């Protein structure tokens, strides 16, 4: 047994310190970023904020709004090829989405999510990104799976995770991943930390994994735990090249989940509710690592997106970053606690 004595931080443990800046307006901030990916050699230009591949978030309706801001959406792995075909004929831009698969293919050559992914990539070569979705990427079979997908798709951008430490970030990048997702347990509807006691505070995980990825020419995507636009700014300032959000986009019209009595469901993808929706069983050995919640209907997602982008833009002007790309370079963080004045929070409409 070993205890690491180093203090690990969450978003609420830090603040960005303002700096002198020559930016005259928030409008001047460049909100897209051009990435050159290590293993696929792809060069893509987008706003590095991703909608998570969760039910109620990773939908085509969401993608169609996010694409207007050059933001990205990971379409859920249960989305059928027919649904893809319909969306593509209906205004979806393929550069703004990623297809998603789990790793069941390792054990089952007929795995449906993998087959759907293959069909999507065959029908729509303009989809440039594959997201391999697993809660825990510390298994050796995960590394083997990434290698297999890389062999099959040498020129697609491969996103995989999730990890929270540098050595596994490097391992996945060296074995074919372009982008490694960082985050175990920080999610809004995730109960991994209470169910298993496992996790690393998200801000520190980002700083460590980003440093590791930069060392080997890879990229990371901070996944989970952003509650406010400022958290996205902190993630980018802490070195995340990209940020994935779920809960911040949930509960809107674009969720694909019907509002009942002014409320919409939202649930973790490892929750009992997700298994019920997708007809999956726990097989007698899995726990319930996600929450089912009922959110007040939030209406259209566009104002929420504008809030998010407005917050991040403003953060850039405070720290003197002309481009999102410069955030980590410009960021000085102060360690603190109790960073938000909650006095009137309960009265906010
Ligand atoms: P949020 O932005 O809502 O804080 O976090 C979203 C992330 O939570 C997702 O992208 C995914 O990585 C993670 N997540 C989604 N569902 C579950 C779940 O049921 N259990 C766990 N442990 N994590 C989840």
Q: In this structure, how many other beta carbons lie within 10 angstroms of the beta carbon of residue 309? A: 19
Mutate to test the pocket of ligand 1, among 78, 135, 186, 187 (most ligand atoms within 8 A of CB): 187
pLDDT score at 346 = 86
- Taking residues 308-335, what's their average pLDDT? 97
Res 160 pLDDT > 80: yes
Report whether pLDDT(348) > 70.
Answer: yes
Bridge partner list, 179: 159, 219
Q: CB of 334 within 8 A of CB of 15?
A: yes
| Tokens 């203090």, located at residue | 7
> Which atom of ligand 1 is found nearest the CA of 247?
3
| Mean pLDDT, rounded, of the chain | 95
User: How far, in Å, from the CA of 186 to the mean position of ligand 1?
Assistant: 7
Cβ(214)–Cβ(165) under 8 Å? no
pLDDT tens figures, 233-277:
999 999 999 999 999 999 999 999 999 999 999 999 999 999 999
DSSP symbol at 17: P
The predicted pLDDT at position 282 comes to 67
- Tokens for 289, please give them: 């690592």
| 190 in active site | yes
224 lines ligand 1 (CB under 6 A): yes
Ligand 1 and 245: CB distance under 6 A = yes
**Contacts from 166-169 at CB under 8 Å and sequence distance 24+?**
166/208, 166/209, 166/211, 166/212, 167/212, 168/137, 168/138, 169/209, 169/212, 169/213, 169/218, 169/220
pLDDT digits (tens, 9 = 90+) for 112-150: 999 999 999 999 999 999 999 988 999 889 999 999 999
- Is the pLDDT reported for residue 333 higher than 80? yes
Mutational pocket test of ligand 1: of 50, 189, 195, 267, the residue with most ligand atoms within 8 Å of the beta carbon? 189
Can you give the pTM of this predicted structure?
Answer: 0.97
For residue 81, pLDDT beyond 70: yes
pLDDT for res 28 = 86
Positive or negative torsion for Cα 203, 3, 339, 195? positive
The single residue of 47, 190, 209, 316 carrying the catalytic annotation is: 190
Cβ atoms of 36 and 234 closer than 8 Å = no
């Amino acid at each position: 047994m070993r205890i690491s004595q180093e203090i690990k931080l969450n978003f609420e443990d830090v603040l960005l310190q303002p700096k002198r800046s020559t930016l005259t307006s928030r409008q001047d901030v460049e909100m897209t970023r051009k990435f050159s990916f290590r293993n696929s050699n792809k060069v893509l230009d987008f706003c590095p904020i991703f909608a998570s591949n969760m039910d109620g978030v990773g939908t085509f309706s969401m993608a169609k709004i996010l694409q207007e801001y050059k933001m990205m959406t990971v379409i859920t792995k249960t989305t059928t090829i027919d649904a893809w075909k319909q969306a593509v004929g209906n205004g979806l831009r393929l550069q703004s989405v990623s297809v998603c698969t789990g790793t069941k293919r390792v054990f089952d050559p007929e795995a449906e999510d993998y087959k759907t992914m293959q069909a999507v990539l065959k029908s729509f070569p303009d989809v440039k990104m594959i997201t391999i979705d697993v809660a825990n990427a510390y298994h050796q079979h995960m590394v083997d799976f990434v290698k297999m997908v890389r062999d099959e798709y040498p020129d697609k951008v491969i996103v995989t995770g999730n990890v929270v430490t540098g050595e596994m970030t490097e391992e996945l990048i060296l074995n074919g991943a372009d982008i490694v997702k960082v985050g175990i347990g920080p999610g809004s509807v995730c109960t991994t930390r209470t169910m298993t006691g496992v996790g690393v505070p998200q801000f520190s995980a980002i700083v460590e994994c980003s440093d590791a990825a930069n060392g080997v020419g890879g990229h990371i995507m901070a996944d989970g735990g952003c509650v406010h636009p400022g958290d996205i700014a902190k993630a980018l300032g802490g070195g995340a090249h990209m940020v994935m959000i779920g809960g911040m986009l949930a509960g809107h019209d674009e969720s694909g989940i019907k509002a009942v009595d002014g409320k919409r469901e939202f649930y973790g993808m490892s929750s009992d509710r997700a298994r019920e929706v997708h007809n999956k069983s726990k097989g007698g050995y899995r726990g319930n690592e996600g929450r089912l919640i009922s959110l007040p209907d939030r209406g259209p997602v566009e104002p929420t997106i504008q809030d998010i982008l407005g917050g991040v833009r403003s953060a850039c002007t405070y720290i003197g970053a002309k481009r999102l790309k410069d955030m980590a370079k410009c960021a000085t963080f102060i360690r603190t606690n109790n960073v938000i004045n909650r006095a009137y929070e309960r009265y906010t409409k």
